[in-house]
Structure 1
Amino acid sequence: MAVFVDLDEEEDEKRQNGQLPLDAVKAAAVTEVVASKGTGKDREEAHGLAVRDDPNRNSMTQALGCYPIIMSVAANIDLNTLDSLSRTCRAIHGGVLQYRKMLLISTLHCVNEHLPVDPEETLRFRARAGNWFYMEDAPGRTGYSGKAGQCARDMVSECRRCGTVACRNCAIKPPAPIVLRDRHRRLCVACAEAPIGYLVKPQLGPDVTVESDSVERAICQCASTGVWLCQPCGRSIRSDDNEYKSIWKWRNQYTDLLGGLGTGIGEGDRGVICGRGKECRAGREREQETDCDAADLREADANFLGTTPLSHTSSNSSLAPWSSASSNHGSVSTASDTAERRTPSPQLKAGYERHEIEGIGGVVKKKLVRMVKIGACVPEWDDERQKGEILGREVQGRRRSWCGWCWRVIPGKKDYDAAAKARIQAEEKKTLNGPDKKNLDG
């Protein structure tokens, strides 16, 4: 009888000269290669499933992960917008995070960031900047440059009127919601009936509606997103509103008929001009008379013709007929001395634009008459005049108007109705084309 005994293999094989046998090494290598192939394949499959299951991974998220694209985007937004962009999804967050240091220094910067801050005047002007009624102070009287402290980086945007980049410390304080009704300016019939695409900048086509993205960015957003104006543009909005309201109050008080006699108010060019001013679609050139004296006229002509540099004047002083003998010896004269020696220019005397009028008591008055383009007269309604309302249709949103703060168009009820009608027609057309396309495909 024979007995067979199955002996288990030893866990630790005998080493040959302190190393494992060659067969054991080959077997271990083959096992590792097979395991690595299986692991790599599993990883690829898992990555493919993750990419397939991620709905946010598209061409946009991949583009924002490209350095030139994300840098160009960051150059037009502030830190708050950049933070909101990074919080959109994980794909965008991962693409933005790798360029964090460069993006933080590449966002919008205020134009006043390089200006120094005077510590003695900072507190006083910061308190004034917090009060909206102090914005009417002229910069020449107060010496205020529009910078009340260190410029911020978290809230920086372009001025809605002039496009200057200003931070929250250099922008005006947002007006109270109650005064938003004072920003309306009435438009003439031509501007009110024209397509809204013609009243925005840059000018768009006649087929765009108020609900399109391009028009929404170009219209007034003072009531929705807020007022963002730099100090030079927003300093005088209160006085402009009061002046415009006073014009309408005066016109409501002195009607067209006063005691049975026609006063001529509202006839011809005596009405209130269009809110767009010289950009009015029905604007015409008219003579404008401005009372002035010699100093005002000299300043106006200097701004109109351009001033001559001092170096250019001194270098050519020897060629001028009014040059003195000392100028021929190379002496440099100042601009004031040159103005005193020179013969008065014909532009400083009475001419085509500058008229001299003899007033009461023999006083000679000087008037500057120039052709300027003004807007057409706006319509007036008797119901508003009887009720004493000022721009009632514009305030209620029934008629298109012009914003006197940001100088942008404010759509009316007719614009929104036209946009809704166009949207319904587009949906009906899409619905009608859908079954026909399926039948053709079938």
Structure 2
Amino acid sequence: MVVFVDLDDESEPPEVGGHWDARHFGLGNTVSEKEKEKELEVENEERDNPNRNASTEALGCYPVVISIASHLDLNTLDALSQTCRQVRVNLLQFRTQLLSTTLRCSNEPIQSDPERSLRYRARSADWYFVEVGRNRAGTGKVGQCARDLVGACRRCGDVVCRNCTIKPPAPVLLRHRHRRICTACSRVPLSYLVEQSSEHDHTSSSATKPLSGDNLRRAVCGCATDVVWFCQPCGRSLRSVDSEYESIWKWRTRYLPSLGGLGVGIGEGNRGVPCGRGGDCVAAREVEQEIDCDAEDAREIESSSRVVSPSSSPGSSMGPGYARHEIEGIGGVVKKKLVRMVKVGACVPEFGDEKEQGKFLVREIEGRARSWCGWCWRVIPGVEDVV
């Protein structure tokens, strides 16, 4: 049998004609294979997607994904979209809304001064710029805020962008951030030091559930491993504070204990080096502290002029009384001293081998003992601490 096919007629394939019989030419298996391939494609489409789970389904919900995006910057949001195809599909449908609701710098509403931006841009990015104090240093904004790299300051917690942070210190300067802690703080569990903060007392922090695992790793100091992320007001005084703390130890190592410390009482009573945690120390005690009233009154007047009502007078509480003492100085000059009760940390131990070698903070720098970070105000685990 012969089949004649008109090649010029492309409107209909030869299979459509009534004289075409595929089984007669042995092509029936080909047709069945095509049908099987179609069935396999349908089965593959109906197969369960391994990327569809509770997490990816939640990212497809608009309120959930908007709430999550408000805590992420653009870089983190882009990394989240690259985890799997299902997450990317869920995020792409809300792309316009997500880009407008990502995490923003706290200084973004502040208008930048174009005259000061160029003048202070170089030195404001320098981490050891000597200008202490938030009011004096300002917000640290020298230009437009960025959206791609935004995070919380490791010390104060304010959300700042990469343009409002300090220049990260060199790795060689990490050894200067250590602060020695007292014996009581070095013996308590590590989670106890992590939970405590300056706003909460010991009773409220001990009632909470102790941290462990990844939460504990994020709560301890990460200046040596993570990026040093500090806002301008917190980071400008890092070098001056480190130099001041080390100068105390250098001064104390020059006096021999055999001479009695020349009246300084090295490590005796309340005259030793206080714990690096300050008022949050486990063995903290209240002591009297004398402050010059001239500088303190200036701060009170400045702060009271912003918050107090017009009827109240800040000068009424500046006269001599129980807390304010008048002291006659040289030349008959009368000065006022403000006496306050403040919490001071317990004295830290001093070791004989360090005194003989003229060194200090050797155990903390080498990582053998637990210490306190003077940069981010977090605990630095020692060798015996399991994190």
When normalised by structure 2's length, the TM-score is 0.80
Task: Using the TM superposition, give the Cα deviation of residue 390 of structure 1 relative to its aligned residue in structure 2, in angstroms.
Answer: 2.3
1:97-135 alpha-carbon deviations (Å, 9 max, x no partner)? 111111111111001112222222222222223333325
Cα distance in 1 for residues equivalent to 2:190 and 2:94: 41
- Paired residues for 1:15-94 under 5 Å: 45-49=43-47, 51=49, 54=50, 56-94=51-89
* Other-structure match for 2:373: 403
Task: Using the TM superposition, give the Cα deviation of residue 222 of structure 1 relative to its aligned residue in structure 2, in angstroms.
Answer: 0.8
Task: Using the TM superposition, give the Cα deviation of residue 258 of structure 1 relative to its aligned residue in structure 2, in angstroms.
Answer: 1.8
Cα distance in 1 for residues equivalent to 2:305 and 2:195: 29
Residues 360 and 247 of structure 1: CA distance in aligned 2, closer, same or farther (over 3 Å): same
Cα distance in 2 for residues equivalent to 1:298 and 1:120: 29
Which of the residues 341, 350, 355 maps onto 2:320?
350
Cα distance in 2 for residues equivalent to 1:204 and 1:40: 65
Cα distance in 1 for residues equivalent to 2:342 and 2:324: 15
* Other-structure match for 1:169: 163
Task: Using the TM superposition, give the Cα deviation of residue 306 of structure 1 relative to its aligned residue in structure 2, in angstroms.
Answer: 8.8
Task: Using the TM superposition, give the Cα deviation of residue 73 of structure 1 relative to its aligned residue in structure 2, in angstroms.
Answer: 1.4
Are 1:78 and 1:107, in contact at CA under 8 Å, matched by a contact in 2? yes
In terms of mean alpha carbon deviation, does 179-188 or 89-98 score higher?
A: 89-98
Pick the structure with more helix per residue.
Answer: 1
Residues 50 and 96 of structure 1: CA distance in aligned 2, closer, same or farther (over 3 Å): same
* Other-structure match for 1:326: none
Cα distance in 1 for residues equivalent to 2:228 and 2:52: 36
Are 1:125 and 1:144, in contact at CA under 8 Å, matched by a contact in 2? no
Query: Are residues 1:309 and 2:309 paired?
Result: yes
Aligned-partner residue type, residue 58 of structure 1: N
Aligned-partner residue type, residue 45 of structure 2: H
Which of the residues 190, 194, 203 maps onto 1:196?
190
Task: Using the TM superposition, give the Cα deviation of residue 160 of structure 1 relative to its aligned residue in structure 2, in angstroms.
Answer: 0.8
When normalised by structure 1's length, the TM-score is 0.71
* Other-structure match for 2:154: 160
SS in 2 for 1:275: coil
Which of the residues 93, 107, 110 maps onto 1:112?
107
Cα distance in 2 for residues equivalent to 1:237 and 1:137: 9
Aligned-partner residue type, residue 349 of structure 1: G
Aligned-partner residue type, residue 97 of structure 1: L
1:146-170 alpha-carbon deviations (Å, 9 max, x no partner)? 1121100010001111110000000
Cα distance in 1 for residues equivalent to 2:272 and 2:229: 32
- Paired residues for 1:42-441 under 5 Å: 45-49=43-47, 51=49, 54=50, 56-134=51-129, 136=131, 145-201=139-195, 203=205, 212-258=213-259, 263-293=264-294, 296-297=296-297, 299-300=299-300, 308-310=308-310, 312=311, 345=316, 347-416=317-386
Cα distance in 2 for residues equivalent to 1:144 and 1:358: 37
Cα distance in 1 for residues equivalent to 2:183 and 2:298: 39
Aligned-partner residue type, residue 57 of structure 1: R
Aligned-partner residue type, residue 259 of structure 2: L
Task: Using the TM superposition, give the Cα deviation of residue 301 of structure 1 relative to its aligned residue in structure 2, in angstroms.
Answer: 7.7
* Other-structure match for 2:200: none
1:167-226 alpha-carbon deviations (Å, 9 max, x no partner)? 00001111111111111111111111111111114657899676x111111111111112
Cα distance in 2 for residues equivalent to 1:383 and 1:299: 44
Residues 305 and 282 of structure 1: CA distance in aligned 2, closer, same or farther (over 3 Å): farther
Are 2:220 and 2:379, in contact at CA under 8 Å, matched by a contact in 1? yes
1:305-335 alpha-carbon deviations (Å, 9 max, x no partner)? 995322x56xxxxxxxxxxxxxxxxxxxxxx
Identity of aligned residues (%): 54
Are 1:196 and 1:206, in contact at CA under 8 Å, matched by a contact in 2? no
Residues 349 and 401 of structure 1: CA distance in aligned 2, closer, same or farther (over 3 Å): same
- Paired residues for 1:5-16 under 5 Å: 11=17
Are 2:286 and 2:343, in contact at CA under 8 Å, matched by a contact in 1? yes
Are 1:256 and 1:262, in contact at CA under 8 Å, matched by a contact in 2? no
1:270-318 alpha-carbon deviations (Å, 9 max, x no partner)? 011111111111100011112224x7447548858995322x56xxxxx
Q: Provide the alpha-carbon RMSD of the alignment.
A: 3.2
* Other-structure match for 2:28: none
Task: Using the TM superposition, give the Cα deviation of residue 91 of structure 1 relative to its aligned residue in structure 2, in angstroms.
Answer: 1.7
